[in-house]
Amino acid sequence: MTIQRTRRRPPIYRGGIPKAIKDKIPDWYQEALLWMMNKYPDVKFHNFDIVFSHNLNRGRYYRNKIGYKKGERPLIQIKTSIDQYGIWFYNMKSLGILQNCIQPGIKISIQLIIVHELTHHVQYERELPAGELLTTANELIYLRQLDSYWFNKLFVNGTGKVNPEAITKFEKTINKLN
């Protein structure tokens, strides 16, 4: 598959990101971005600004809305401080998720936030309905490819075992979205 070779502005770093994390973010960002570019080769992934900050309470995507000036490049903000509770997923019953919080560590957490916010960019560029189903689905697909252990944790039932029916439900929903 051909990768887009367009010029992107470099990421912006704000809010006291610890050096140990800041030094790794470019590689983590590149991995998630390439995954999205391969999944959506028709989408322009060079026409937005991205800010990584330790002072955010969540990731955000702004495009010609309140909080971002009309006509400017879209802005993606990525939270780099992952608290003791880990990363939360939207509780999408159609995706079969049984647990909506995991603690996979800083790298995976930041990459999942990147995939989530870039999916909002895809929704806008493709004129798809806004919402959290596709964003959450992409996070889960990415997580499954990156680390099946943490993916499976989201489908554990009350007995502590992975629920195969929940995985089947996830697969059916993913097939409908593609």
Q: First CA to last CA across the chain, in angstroms?
A: 18
Q: Do 54 and 109 meet the contact criterion of CB atoms below 8 Å apart?
A: no
Determine whether 22 is exposed, middle or buried from the number of CB atoms within 10 Å of its CB (0-12, 13-18, 19+). middle
What would the pLDDT profile of 121-139 be if each residue is shown by its tens digit?
999 999 999 899 999 999 9
What would the pLDDT profile of 5-26 be if each residue is shown by its tens digit?
446 778 889 878 999 999 999 9
Low-confidence ranges of the chain (pLDDT < 70): 1-7, 64-72, 83-85
pTM (2 decimals)? 0.88
